[in-house]
Amino acid sequence: MKLLTGNDLASGAVTWWTGSGWSLHVEDAADVGDQGDSILATEEAARRVNAPYIIDAVATPQGPRPAHIKDRVRALGPTVRLDLTLKPADPAAGNWVI
């Protein structure tokens, strides 16, 4: 599957296209199929996302998982500071990333 990701313009936070808007959680990401480029163009022009790009991912029961390690780290947060990630209370949160 293909995902669309980028950063929020004002806050810089990593965001994922959900099909109708943007979420901080990769689990909410929607497959953009071959629509990625056109969504990207509209959303970037409207400044609802900054520096967007399309990535490969695989669907899993836990939700989409980016194919590239860099995007998996983006989806989680720094692996060396789990307290700063989106799942600070879950010590196993990083297991799928590396």
Partner 1 sequence: MYKYDQYDQAIVDARVDEFRDQVRRRMAGEMTEDQFKPLRLMNGLYLQLHAYMLRVAIPYGTLDSRQMHMLAHIARKYDRDYGHFTTRQNIQYNWIKLEDAGDILADLATVEMHAIQTSGNCIRNISSDQYAGAAADEVTDPRPWAELLRQWSTFHPEFSYLPRKFKIAVIASDEDRAAMRLHDIGIQLVEREGKLGAAFYVGGGMGRTPMIAPLIKDFVPIEDFLSYSEACLRVYNRYGRRDNIYKARIKILVHEIGADEYRRQVEEEFAHVKTLGIDPPVAELERITAFFAPPAFEAGITDSVDRSDPDFAVWLDQNVKAHKQAGYAIVNISLKKTGDIPGDASSAQIDVMADIAKDYSFDELRVTHAQNIVLPHVAKRDLYAVWQKLVEADLAAANLDLISDIIACPGLDYCSLANARSIPVAQKIAKRFADPARQRDLGELKLKISGCINACGHHHAGHIGILGVDKKGTENYQLSLGGSGAEDTSIGKITGPGFDEDGIVDAVERVTDKYIQLREGDERFLDTYRRVGFDPFKEAIYG
Binding residues for partner 1, rule: CB under 8 A, are: 7, 9-14, 44, 47, 50-51, 67-70, 73-74, 77-81, 84, 98
CB of 29 to partner 1, least distance (A): 16
Look up residue 65 and give its two tokens: 């998982």
Please enumerate, as own/partner, the contacts of 37-46 that have beta carbons within 8 Å and a separation of 24 or more.
39/4, 40/4, 43/4, 43/6, 43/17, 44/6
**What is the smallest separation between the CB atom of 78 and partner 1, expressed in angstroms?**
4
Coil, helix or strand at residue 89: coil
CB closer to partner 1 out of 10 and 92:
10
Smaller CB distance to partner 1: residue 33 or 46?
46
Measured from the CB atom, the residue of 19 and 87 that comes closer to partner 1 is: 87
Token digits of residue 34: 């071959």
